[in-house]
Amino acid sequence: MDNGLPPVVFIGAGPGAADLITVRGARRLAAAEVVLFDALTDPALRELAPQARWVDVGKRGFCHATGQTRINALLVKFASQGLRVVRLKGGDPSVFGRLEEELLALAAEGLTAEVVPGVTAAIAAAAAMQRPLTRRGSGRSVSLSTAMTRAGELLATRSADTEVFYMAGRQLAALARRLRDAGWPAETPVCVVSRAGCTDQLSSDHRVATLAEASVLHSGRPAVVTVGVGAAALPHVAARQALRTRDPACVPATRSVKTPNP
């Protein structure tokens, strides 16, 4: 390529608002001639590459989705034509983004690529709730999991101090049962954040025993569920939430909606 870059650049767009993309990602995107973009990427990112051809290859759970074989074929096709191709993925490309399959498809044709990391939804959710995923002395490990398997089976594990489950928004009641089966105590803190990183993000606090109550609030929205040490509110956050419950006028409004613990 005349700019010294590989023909294909995978860019993590972040989980929501366009300004969560990295500086490097924005620069690479601005140089694109073709952009293959995911369903959950912010449309405002088009302003960074108005000259590019934008091709929707999005996937959404339980909805119509572009087949992976077609995405692979499009990457190879455009890159083989000598075009500067950006594969724009929501969140981080390496976290549940099928990056391996697309890199292998390019490698099979002798095409190289660059991967630009992005903010994954688990990190954005933790920031929205002010819940550090690791805690000194109590939270030494974090696990990122998909709640749904390829076969459509719902799974839950207890392998780390904090577990973050992706793609669980439609299965919160069932996930609560699975968490109990996996050995999580009923009183374990859980927080749910839907559309993390977006201006309309919603967040709520629960316990494993009451997680099903989140279903109505987050209905139809992509959500991540954090369970364990990293879901517990810090003392100042818990105090602020309690104050808002008693008198909402005492605390400035935020973009997130938080419900108190049961």
**Geometric angle at alpha carbon 104, from 102 and 106, rounded to 5°:** 75
Question: pLDDT per residue over 170-196, tens digit each?
Answer: 889 999 999 999 999 999 999 999 999
Chain CA centroid to CA 66, Å: 19
Domains of the chain: 8-116 (3.40.1010.10), 121-250 (3.30.950.10)
| The pLDDT value given to residue 152 | 67
Q: What single-letter amino acid sits at 19?
A: D
Of 239, 247, 201, 190, residue with least CA distance to 223: 201
pLDDT category at 157 given cuts 50, 70, 90 is confident
Among 38, 42, 161, 205, which one carries the catalytic annotation?
A: 38
Of 171, 164, 128, 131, residue with least CA distance to 14: 128
Among 161, 167, 205, 258, which one carries the catalytic annotation?
A: 167
Q: For residues 10 and 190, what is the distance between their CA atoms, to the nearest angstrom?
A: 32
**38 among known catalytic residues:** yes
Of 42, 199, 218, 193, residue with least CA distance to 123: 193
Structure letter (DSSP) for residue 63: S
Of 226, 44, 254, residue with least CA distance to 121: 226
**129 among known catalytic residues:** no
Question: pLDDT per residue over 60-102, tens digit each?
Answer: 554 557 899 999 999 999 999 999 999 999 999 999 999 999 9
Record the pTM: 0.84
